[in-house]
Structure 1
Amino acid sequence: MGCDGGTIPKRHELVKGPKKVEKVDKNAELAAKWKYCALSQEKLKRPIVACELGRVYNKDAIIEYLLDKSAERPNSEVVAHIRSIKDVKELNLTDNPAWEGERHNIKGDCYEDMHCAMFICPVVGLEMNGKHKFLYLQTCGCVFSERALREVKTEICHKCGDPFQEDNLVMLNGSKDEVEKLQKAMEERRLKAKTAKKSKKSKDTKVSKSLDSTAPGPSTSGECSKMLKAPAGPIAGSKRSIQDMKDKSETYKSLFTSHSSAKRTKDQISNWVTHTPYHF
């Protein structure tokens, strides 16, 4: 059997084999995590934030998600654990002086090094391109390479000087096992905070109930009102006459109009007559 022109088809032309699975370049995949937002898939630009699982986002993308969680997004599962803006931390990144951006390659005729990153480690100068592990501090948001924290062991941030603990370190764009470890720590931390909040609420409730039980009842309040109405002795502001005070001298009492010497008889009281201007 032949085809036009006397050619004989070969076996691979007649029998279709299984399709070859296209392999994803691991280096390109790693570089993409450090250049693009995990939610919007847009290029990272300041301000940049990271979640408790170490994923990196544009801050405006997270705000848009929180304002409208019902909107359909292609990869909304990566932010399902983010409840509010408090669940992310703005990163304090160090610019790479060798980064020229995309302006030098607008025409597309220049070689662009995919491993050249926008940011570097401020201690050892490693580029944040996925080849090296980077961590950020939940206390201050500063970002460092794992090598820097391993070689220069300290409990004070290298960049801002704030103290931190080992529990405050979060791996950025970690492996599957590292993400699972971070998720477990996040769940434990949230459960602990929830339990503490409930215990505080119950404690406040007990205190308010105890205050209500010690409050004066109707009989007690009536007795209190009687005590207020009938004071034991003379108090300031009472209507006691100065003339009745035995500790005051007669000379002092005569200064006031309530003294007997200041009172007039009927003969001493004059009758005043007012004349109008029309009276002649």
Structure 2
Amino acid sequence: MGCDGGTIPKRHELVKGPKKVEKVDKNAELAAKWKYCALSQEKLRRPIVACELGRLYNKDAVIEYLLDKTAERPNAEAVVHIRGIKDIKELNLTDNPEWEGEGRNTKGDRYEDIHCGMFICPVVGLEMNGKHRFCYLQTCGCVFSERALKEVKTEICHKCGDPFKDDNVLVLNGTKEEVEKLREKMEERRAKAKTKKCKKSKAAETVSTTAESKVAELFSNNMLTLKTPKCSNQKKKKKSHC
């Protein structure tokens, strides 16, 4: 019953139970969404763009995807809804003065705050690091914290002065429920745009057909007027001969 050393094994040593699921640090995962591209997983660098679902991308990564959609990418599901360059908006971000950049010296026992954001809200100064909710305006691409938009209510952008409506405000890196709502709004907008396009094409077709019919009618009338005087002249000549 014993082992080599004369010890009796316990039950947990003989029976293998289910493996423990490794817990992901939610804070680190949340901070990564604000520092890395949702497509290439590379660090965000200007120009930075956002889609209609509020995800952040490097613009060059999205352009590469649009140029060659057949290439295999690890996070291709994050850009399936992007059909063209019109489906993304370049963001007008405000730099964080406390952000020292990637070239800072990290050697030694210096403390490095992983939650230090590269950008801040230009109104209230909150860092864009995942701790606070941020939004962007589809009209101009300016980015603000949700607190700033609630505390200072206006219909004009705080940064560039362009007008906007409540429907133009999109949440960045929202929850699953918020992403689903944004997806529904996106599909609704695209359906409306498609119906408008169909109506315009039908109207253009009707205009072209009516114009063609009018041209044909005018052409036939002109031909008749050109033919009638010749006939009358010929009749006059015949009478004179008689």
> Normalising by structure 2, what TM-score?
0.89
In 1, Cα distance between equivalents of 2:148 and 2:124: 6
Where do 5+ consecutive residues of structure 1 fail to align?
230-280
What's the RMSD between the two structures over aligned residues? Answer: 2.0
Distance 1:217 1:72, change over 3 A: same
* 2:148 alignment partner, SS class: helix
Residue 137 (structure 1) aligned with residue 137 (structure 2): yes
In 1, Cα distance between equivalents of 2:196 and 2:118: 41
Higher helix share: 2
Displacement of 1:30 after TM fit?
Answer: 0.4
Q: Is the Cα–Cα contact under 8 Å of residues 105 and 112 in structure 1 kept in the other structure?
A: no
Structure 1 counterpart of 2:198: 198
* 1:35 alignment partner, SS class: coil
Structure 2 counterpart of 1:222: 223
Structure 2 counterpart of 1:8: 8
Equivalent position amino acid for 2:204 in 1: D
Greater relative contact order (Cα < 8 A, sep 6+): 2
Displacement of 1:110 after TM fit?
Answer: 3.4
Structure 2 counterpart of 1:152: 152
Aligned residue runs from structure 1 range 266-277, under 5 A: none
Displacement of 1:143 after TM fit?
Answer: 0.2
Residue 71 (structure 1) aligned with residue 71 (structure 2): yes
Equivalent position amino acid for 2:192 in 1: K
Aligned residue runs from structure 1 range 198-277, under 5 A: 198-215=198-215, 216=217, 219-223=220-224, 225=226
In 2, Cα distance between equivalents of 1:50 and 1:163: 19
Displacement of 1:219 after TM fit?
Answer: 4.3
Structure 2 counterpart of 1:256: none
In 2, Cα distance between equivalents of 1:115 and 1:218: 76
- Among the aligned pairs, what percent are the same residue? 76
Equivalent position amino acid for 1:183 in 2: R
Q: Is the Cα–Cα contact under 8 Å of residues 106 and 112 in structure 2 kept in the other structure?
A: no
Where do 5+ consecutive residues of structure 2 fail to align?
231-242
Structure 2 counterpart of 1:238: none
Equivalent position amino acid for 2:85 in 1: I
Q: Is the Cα–Cα contact under 8 Å of residues 95 and 120 in structure 1 kept in the other structure?
A: yes
Displacement of 1:55 after TM fit?
Answer: 0.5
* 2:156 alignment partner, SS class: coil
Q: Answer with 182-191 or 204-213: which moved more.
A: 204-213
Aligned residue runs from structure 1 range 30-49, under 5 A: 30-49=30-49
> Normalising by structure 1, what TM-score?
0.77
Displacement of 1:221 after TM fit?
Answer: 1.7
Give CA-to-partner distance per residue, 1:143-191, whole Å, 9 cap, x none: 0000000000000000001000001011100001100110111111011
Structure 1 counterpart of 2:234: none
Aligned length: 229
Displacement of 1:107 after TM fit?
Answer: 4.2
In 2, Cα distance between equivalents of 1:108 and 1:17: 42
Displacement of 1:105 after TM fit?
Answer: 3.8
Give CA-to-partner distance per residue, 1:91-141, whole Å, 9 cap, x none: 000001111123224547533211101001110111111111100000000
